[in-house]
Amino acid sequence: MTLINIGISIFIGIITFTIFSIYYLQFRFIYLSWVPINSRTHVERPDAYQIPYEEVTLFTPDGVSLHAYLIIHNDLCPTLIYFHANAGNMGHRLPIVKRLYYDVQCNVLIFSYRGYGHSTGFPSEKGIKIDSLTVLNYVHQHPVFSKTPIIAYGQSLGGAIAIQSVSACQDKYSALIVENTFLSIPRLILDTMPYMYLIKGLFHQYWSSEKLISSITNIPILFLSGKKDEVVPFDHMYSLYQLSTTKKILKIFEDGKHNDTVIQPGYFETISSFLKQNHLY
């Protein structure tokens, strides 16, 4: 083999390895279940935050077990299905659950997606769609939750999951609340890292909220947006709001960043007001 042939072989090998890595490592960098350290082994419990709860395991049709907490008031309160953001597990969201339970007066079901926390399996768009449907079916069979208005509440990636779930099962929800959510994974990548344009054909995780949001026509939507979001450009949330064709509210938190919009003044009051305006109490 000549030096030229050796060089060509090495070059092809490098290109092949790079393409393989980009294609398969998307799962790891989109679904940050491994961040922070110990997120797959340690999941905080609600009693650490003085929240009464029931711990359950739900089983998906494809054999995955989902770890979930049920936080229940009674059948007079609306029920939030909490779709969390892409890093950590449901335990990291318990301070938010505490506010939703005590201040907003909601029942809450929060769960870790497949491959997150103590849930089994490996995260993917296809798999998490199965997870969301499994949870929704469980809620509609629950003796308390089934008697209440059901609201999808999602943050960041969780907002995209919530939008997908509502668009697929609109008749099973009473409202949708999304915070700092992107138009789609490819749009987010290209808007924040334009040089990735050359490999956009390798993207295979989509979560295309921009294509689904207009199909939600029968229930109200609350958009909660941090104006200073440094991860998801504000334009993404504003565009989702504009694309929406149903009854809707956009609440902008001028100082809100990606991870602290939830602690901005008036955040939980905005949710309470939205629920009251739509007669969900």
Task: Answer yes or no: 255 catalytic.
Answer: no
Query: Six-digit token pair at 3?
Result: 């030096």
Residues 6+ apart with CB under 8 A from 38: none
Q: Which residue out of 132, 167, 229, 236 is catalytically annotated?
A: 229
Q: Which residue out of 156, 174, 184, 225 is catalytically annotated?
A: 156
**Can you spell out the DSSP letters for the chain?**
--HHHHHHHHHHHHHHHHHHHHHHHHHHHHSBTT-STTTTT----GGGGT---EEEEEE-TTS-EEEEEEE---TTS-EEEEE--SBS-GGGGHHHHHHHHHTS--EEEEEPPTTSTT--S---HHHHHHHHHHHHHHHHHSTTGGGS-EEEEEETHHHHHHHHHHHHSGGG-SEEEEES--S-HHHHHHHH-GGGGGGGGG------HHHHGGG--SS-EEEEEETT-SSS-HHHHHHHHHH--SSEEEEEETT--TTTGGGSTTHHHHHHHHHHHTT--
From residue 280, give the alpha-carbon distance in Å to each of 111, 180, 264.
23, 23, 23
Paired strand residues for 32? 87
Q: Which residue out of 258, 260, 272, 273 is catalytically annotated?
A: 258
Task: Answer yes or no: 119 catalytic.
Answer: no
In one-letter notation, the amino acid at residue 77 is C
Task: Answer yes or no: 258 catalytic.
Answer: yes
In one-letter notation, the amino acid at residue 263 is I
Which sequence positions are flagged as catalytic?
A: 156, 229, 258
